[in-house]
Amino acid sequence: MEIRSLEVVPVAHREPPLRNSWGAHSELAARTLVRVETADGLVGVGETYGDDQVITALEGATDLVEGMNAYERTPLRLRLQDEMAYGAIETALLDVVGKATGQPVHALLGGKVRDEVEFSAYLFYKYADSDPETAAICPREVLSPDAMVEQARQFVDKHGFEVLKLKGGVLDPDTELRTLERLAEEFGRRCPLRIDPNGAWSVETATRIAKRLRKMDVTVEFLEDPVPSMHAHARLKRNVDYPIATNMFVTEFDDIATAVELNSIDVILSDHHYWGGPSGNMDLDHTVRTFDLGVGMHSNSHLGVSMATMSHVAAAMPTLRYACDTHYPWISDDVIEGSPIEISDGFVDVPDEPGLGVDLDDERVEEMHETWKESETLGYSSVGSMAAEYADAMADRGDWLPNKPRW
């Protein structure tokens, strides 16, 4: 099946001013769509991050993709030597192969091992939305434990989530600890909770917080990236008995050997955007099982194409044992036809339609592409580029630096 054309389309979508340890999201975020078209006129789509480095890499892959056989993807991966660019293109190639063969993407990955995929409520401290009428959920400011409980209630009532993840590293650790306690009070002491400070705590602070959590009647699944390096995680694991998860310090296969040797992590959070696409995530699933590690799924400010891809990949990963993260409920714009992908009782039904099971709304894509061309957007694809983007966005605050650990 010959690929006739590759199209790279940057878009910008509305995003709430969510807080994290680097600062605050801008209210316009960038994503990049990939379209491949076969000589027979079939179209496959993919989605990835939106920074200039990713766009340049994807546009530079045009000569490699155009004219290739959509089934012969390994040579492309080897020639690109760029897992993120490859991941977006592979997603589009799998989508078009699925459409050509009448098979869903999860079947092309070896077959689904679950019919529905569980997601967690991704809770953020945040500023108030500048246009609350168009917010998808929770437009108000959330900068206290009680306000976070109100936000979580909206997520649970609307989507039925049973697992709650708190983005930490924003308020002081004791206030965030109180937030976890209030969530347990509101949603039950057995409600699975997670906290992700994005490396903002020192080993000493993380140790203190973990020991206090052990004395509280709360259920914590894992601590995600509480401290700012792989070696710091190894030190922390000698002090605490909670599982330690990461998506910051183990982001490619070369990192796994070091993590295992140091005994620094227990759970790797996969991501089809930068682990070599959907097939790379299947390789990761096999690898973590070999080392008896856990695997979950990381999220970013993604649109419906990525949400659909996450569902197919998660459905096909046998070792996946945690509810996946997703920003999707926060997003009020989308590029796919029809209504947003439904999250009900905290789960997404895995589609069995050919390919990804979603199609682009061309009119919306064009509108969001024009917004991208005309606006300043926040785009990043790595921890380093994220810190740089946030530093630029927070430049008017002379006292602010993205320094870790903060506490």
Active-site residue identified among 298, 302, 312, 327: 298
Residue pair 380/374 in contact (Cβ under 8 Å)? The answer is no
- CA–CA distance, 222 with 99 (Å, rounded to integer): 39
Residue pair 225/197 in contact (Cβ under 8 Å)? The answer is yes
Active-site residue identified among 106, 126, 167, 272: 167
Q: Position 152: which residue type?
A: A
In the residue annotation, 312 being an active-site residue is answered as no
Residue pair 46/91 in contact (Cβ under 8 Å)? The answer is yes
In the residue annotation, 298 being an active-site residue is answered as yes
34-66 residues labelled b (16+ CB within 10 A) or e (exposed): bbbbbeeebbbbbbbbbbebbbebbeebeebbe
Within 8 A by CB and 6+ apart from 109, the residues are 94, 278, 279, 282, 312, 313, 316
Active site residues: 167, 298
